[in-house]
């Protein structure tokens, strides 16, 4: 079916102009000041975008949907996560495949793919975690890259679970360099965290407010430095996920100055929430436990400024949903057992608009760059995604900047029992969201087809 978006203000990472956009067979085929009615196919869906922005579909390059983690499973499936994503204007998800240390990589890839097939309503792809790397399994990673997964993930954190040994990290980064695959990395020193956790617990400090002290900024900065040292030695392209604080950002920028090919992601909770959230009474602070932890408020300006100056490439979510009632409470007696994560896939774009653009911290083009275009470019999806160009997928967000509402659990699709941003004022909302030319969400509600989402095969571009 054809789609016509009439009279919107088109905002890309570099442009701002008013035009009609027309799509046929899932792709953008015309962008003109006024498309003649005679050129519009009978039965075409017409969206009136006058007074609204038209953005390229937003891409979240860091989500967890199927996630066996910390003795439980993340609460979403592809249906709930896609609905949440689309309601908030996100049309493409990049999910982390996080196998256990004894899982075979190809089997893990097949498992993660099977969780998306038939349930995804957004387009999707994966970063493949390397949690061990002996000689025997290298062919499996080659096979996974050939199948279209052109990015790896490594964890310098989570000792005894996802954490990769230095020997394997070095070998995996060399391998990635040879394949032209970018390595995304969770950078925190696992051994330092382990020691700090043990001493805090031994001193009787068990509540969620001790999660932050167990992983201070210097522990994250050390992880960034370590990864960048290997990248400098090997020439591997690296992408630091969820950079949360000034100290870690400084390390990454220092490495970049030395010539390391390093890109920086930060995630929306770190821009808008701070370390005091974990102090909430009645164990409610557990809702705000994620890693790296929420930081001192002063770091928020550093992150916003990093995006504004385009030193930080992307704003993702690290969506990792765990229910408060029976999952976060697994850590009642020890903060080390609280499943880490703050669900945000539905709220990300509206929070960036509300707290970034409407608060004069970012302009519209920078918002599009950080929430869509940079992820497409870094992960081999551009210009199919992240652009409004002839031939691009017709993934479009008609955004109403005049909308006023509040963030609430009631309106959220994620399978959790709380909203980390409950009651906050929301400025702006996606009025219509299309995936390959079909409207999948309207006015913050999912109206699309479950199962319409496609796996995006990517080539190595690094």
Q: Residue numbers of the site for Zn ion (CB under 5 A)?
A: 186, 318
Q: How far is the CB of 264 from Zn ion (least distance, A)?
A: 14
Q: How far is the CB of 362 from ligand URP (least distance, A)?
A: 23
Two structure tokens written together for 388: 């409004």
Contact pick of 285, 341, 428, 448 for ligand URP (by CB under 6 A)? 341
Q: Which is nearer to ligand URP, 159 or 442 (CB)?
A: 159
Q: How far is the CB of 137 from ligand URP (least distance, A)?
A: 22
Contact pick of 291, 299, 426, 454 for ligand URP (by CB under 6 A)? 291
Q: Which is nearer to ligand URP, 219 or 430 (CB)?
A: 219
The site map against ligand URP for 61-80 (x = CB under 6 A) is ---x----------------
Contact pick of 76, 220, 251, 318 for ligand URP (by CB under 6 A)? 318
Q: Which is nearer to ligand URP, 223 or 437 (CB)?
A: 223
Residue with tokens 């792809």: 125
Q: What is the 3-state secondary structure (H, E, C) of the chain?
A: CCEEEEEEEEECCCCEEEEEEEEECCEEEEEECCCCHHHCCCCCEEEECCCCEEEECEEEEEECCCCEECCEECCCCHHHHHHHHHHCCEEEEEEEECCCCCCCHHHHHHHHHHHHCCCCCCEEEEEEECCCCCHHHHHHHHHHHHCCCCEEEEECCCCCCCCCCHHHHHHHHHHHHHHCCEEEEECCCHHHHHHHHHHHHHCCCCCHHHCCCCCCHHHHHHHHHHHHHHHHHHCCCEEECCCCCHHHHHHHHHHHHCCCCEEEEEEHHHHHCCHHHHHCCCCHHHHHCCCCCCCCCHHHHHHHHHHHCCCCCEEECCECCCCCCCCHHHHCCCHHHCCCCCCCCCCHHHHHHHHHHCCCCCCHHHHHHHHHHHHHHHCCCCCCCCCCCCCCECCEEEEEEEEEEECCHHHCCCCCCCCCCCCCEEEEEEEEEEECCEEEEECCEECCCCCCCCECCCCCCC
Q: Which is nearer to ligand URP, 92 or 291 (CB)?
A: 291
Q: How far is the CB of 446 from ligand URP (least distance, A)?
A: 24
Contact pick of 9, 52, 127, 186 for ligand URP (by CB under 6 A)? 186
Q: Which does 215 bind (CB under 5 to 8 A by kind): Zn ion, ligand URP, none?
A: none
- Phi and psi of 68, rounded to 5°? -75, 120
Two structure tokens written together for 207: 């509540």
Q: Which does 290 bind (CB under 5 to 8 A by kind): ligand URP, Zn ion, none?
A: ligand URP
Q: Closest-CB residue for Zn ion?
A: 186
In this structure, are residues 330 and 286 in contact, taking their beta carbons and an 8 Å threshold? no
Q: Which does 151 bind (CB under 5 to 8 A by kind): ligand URP, Zn ion, none?
A: none
Q: How far is the CB of 223 from ligand URP (least distance, A)?
A: 12
The reply to whether 220 sits near ligand URP by the rule CB under 6 A is: no
Q: How far is the CB of 204 from ligand URP (least distance, A)?
A: 24
The reply to whether 247 sits near ligand URP by the rule CB under 6 A is: no
Q: Which is nearer to ligand URP, 52 or 64 (CB)?
A: 64
Q: Which is nearer to Zn ion, 123 or 318 (CB)?
A: 318
Contact pick of 244, 340, 414, 454 for ligand URP (by CB under 6 A)? 340
Q: Which is nearer to Zn ion, 23 or 345 (CB)?
A: 345
Beta pairing class for 27-32 and 16-24: antiparallel
Q: Which is nearer to Zn ion, 318 or 350 (CB)?
A: 318
- Phi and psi of 148, rounded to 5°? 115, 10
In this structure, are residues 352 and 369 in contact, taking their beta carbons and an 8 Å threshold? no
Q: How far is the CB of 155 from ligand URP (least distance, A)?
A: 7
Q: Which is nearer to Zn ion, 209 or 318 (CB)?
A: 318
Q: Which is nearer to Zn ion, 177 or 186 (CB)?
A: 186
In this structure, are residues 417 and 323 in contact, taking their beta carbons and an 8 Å threshold? yes
Cis peptide before 79 (omega within 30 of 0): no
The reply to whether 290 sits near ligand URP by the rule CB under 6 A is: yes
Q: How far is the CB of 322 from Zn ion (least distance, A)?
A: 13
Number of residues that bind ligand URP (CB under 6 A): 8
How many CB atoms within 10 Å of residue 71?
A: 10
Q: Which does 341 bind (CB under 5 to 8 A by kind): ligand URP, Zn ion, none?
A: ligand URP
Q: How far is the CB of 98 from ligand URP (least distance, A)?
A: 7
Q: How far is the CB of 342 from ligand URP (least distance, A)?
A: 7
Q: Which is nearer to ligand URP, 47 or 338 (CB)?
A: 338
The reply to whether 320 sits near ligand URP by the rule CB under 6 A is: yes
Nearest-angstrom CA–CA distance, 30 and 64:
35
Which residues of this protein are in contact with ligand URP, per CB under 6 A?
64, 186, 290-291, 318, 320, 340-341
């Amino acid at each position: 079916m054809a789609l016509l978006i009439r009279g919107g203000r088109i905002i890309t990472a570099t442009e701002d102009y008013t035009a009609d956009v027309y799509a046929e067979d899932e792709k953008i085929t015309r962008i003109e000041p006024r498309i003649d009615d005679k050129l519009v196919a009978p039965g075409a869906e017409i969206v009136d975008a006058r007074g609204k922005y038209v953005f390229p579909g937003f891409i979240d390059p860091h989500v967890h949907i199927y996630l066996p983690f910390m003795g439980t499973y993340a609460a979403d499936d592809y249906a709930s996560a896609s609905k949440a994503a689309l309601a908030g204007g996100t049309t493409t998800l990049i999910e982390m495949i996080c196998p256990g240390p004894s899982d075979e990589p190809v089997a893990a890839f097949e498992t993660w793919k099977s969780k998306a097939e038939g349930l995804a309503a957004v387009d999707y792809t994966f970063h493949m975690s390397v949690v061990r790397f002996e000689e025997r399994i290298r062919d499996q990673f080659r096979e996974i890259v050939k199948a279209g997964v052109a990015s790896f993930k490594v964890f310098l954190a989570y000792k005894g679970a996802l954490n990769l040994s230095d020997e394997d990290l070095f070998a995996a980064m060399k391998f990635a360099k040879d394949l032209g695959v970018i390595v995304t990395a969770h950078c925190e020193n696992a051994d330092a965290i382990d020691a700090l956790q043990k001493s805090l617990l031994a001193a009787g400090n068990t509540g969620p407010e001790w999660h932050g002290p167990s992983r201070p900024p210097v522990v994250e900065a050390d992880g960034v430095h370590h990864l960048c040292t290997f990248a400098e030695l090997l020439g591997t392209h690296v992408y630091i996920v969820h950079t949360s604080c000034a100290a870690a950002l400084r390390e990454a920028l220092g490495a970049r100055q030395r010539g390391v090919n390093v890109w920086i992601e930060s995630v929306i909770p770190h821009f808008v929430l701070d370390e005091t959230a974990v102090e909430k009474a009645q164990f409610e602070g557990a809702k705000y436990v994620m890693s790296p932890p929420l930081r001192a408020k002063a770091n928020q300006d550093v992150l916003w400024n990093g995006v504004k100056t385009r030193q930080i490439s992307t704003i993702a979510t690290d969506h990792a949903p765990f229910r408060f009632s029976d999952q976060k409470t697994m850590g009642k007696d020890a903060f080390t057992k609280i499943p880490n994560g703050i669900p945000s896939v539905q709220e990300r774009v509206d929070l960036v608009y509300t707290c970034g653009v409407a608060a004069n911290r970012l302009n519209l083009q920078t918002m599009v760059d950080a929430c869509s275009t940079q992820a497409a470019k870094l992960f081999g999806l551009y210009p199919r995604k992240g652009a409004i160009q002839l031939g691009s997928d017709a993934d479009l967000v008609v955004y109403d900047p005049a909308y006023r509402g509040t963030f609430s659990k009631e309106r959220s699709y994620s399978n959790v029992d709380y909203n980390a941003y409950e009651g906050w004022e929301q400025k702006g909302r996606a009025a219509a969201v299309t995936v390959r030319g079909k409207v999948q969400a309207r006015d913050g509600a999912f109206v699309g087809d479950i199962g319409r989402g496609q796996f995006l095969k990517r080539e190595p571009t690094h």
